[in-house]
Amino acid sequence: MFGIKQGWACLFGGLLLALIVATFLWWPEEAAVARYDALVVGAVAIQAGMLIFKLESWEEARVILLFHIAGTIMELFKTAHGSWVYPEASMLRIGDVPLFSGFMYAAVGSYIARVQRIFHIRVRDYPPVWMTGVLAAGIYLNFFLHHWLPDVRGLLFLMVGVLFGRGWFYFTPDRRRRSMPLLAGYGLVALFIWIAENVGTIARAWTYPGQEAGWEPVSLDKLGSWFLLMIISIVLVSLVHRPEGESR
C-alpha cells in the first residue's frame, strides 16, 4: 500500500519521466517536431490533466508555478555557466533551456503537495515558517553566488540540521499511523530524485560534463543539491499546506 500511495503521489513526475524515456527510445530523428518540443507539449498536457481531474488544486498549482519559474531561472544561469547542457535542438526554448525543463521542478513541487494530502502528513517540532523561508532563500542564492563567492553549502546543510533535526512527521500508509524523522524523509525523497536524474541523463534529456561521449552515473554531489532543492520546494508548498501539528 505504501508503494502504491507513493506512486500515486509522484504521478506528475512519473508520467514526465516515462515520457522522457519513451521519446528517447522511440521518437524518430526525422520527425517534424523536435523531441524536446514534444516533451513540452506532453508536460503541458500532464499539468492540464492534473488540474482538470482535480489531482491538484489551483492554489497548489500556483505555488508549484513559483518553483517552476525559480527552477527555469536557475536553469538559464547554470546552462550559461556550463553546469549542464541540453544536447538536442528545439524551438520551444529560452536561450539554451528547453521549456520542458521547468516542469521537472514542477513535478517535485507536485509530489510534495500531493504526498501531504495522500498520507495525511502531520508534523512535530517543525521550525517556524519564517526561519524556513530565510533558509530557503539562502539556499537558492547560494546556487548562483557560489560561482563568484565561497560555496557555503556546508553551512546550509548545518542550518538544515539545526532547524529540522528535531522534527518528525507522522503519516498513514495503511491502517496504522507511522512516523519518521523529517531529515530522513527529505533524504529519501532526494535519493529517489537523484535516481530519476540518472534515468533522465541516460535518456539524454540533458547531460553533465563528462557525459558527452557516453553515459556515466550522476555525481553524488548532485544528491546534496537535490536535498537542498527539496528544502526550497517544501518551504514553497508550506505556503499552501501550512505544517499541521500531530496531536500527542
- How is the chain split into domains, by residue range? 2-237
Measured between alpha carbons, how far is 173 from 59 in angstroms, rounded to an integer? 25
| Angle between the N-to-C axes of helices 129-145 and 153-164, in degrees from 0 to 180, rounded to the nearest 10 | 170
Tell me the average pLDDT of the chain. 94
The proportion of the chain whose per-residue pLDDT surpasses 70, expressed as a percent, equals 99
pTM score above 0.85: yes
Residue 108 sits at the vertex; the CA angle it makes with 207 and 86, to the nearest 5 degrees, is 20
Give mean pLDDT, residues 14-36.
96
pLDDT at 2 (0 to 100):
80
Find out whether 58 and 107 touch, Cβ atoms under 8 Å: no
pLDDT at 110 (0 to 100):
94
> Cell 520542458 appears where?
100
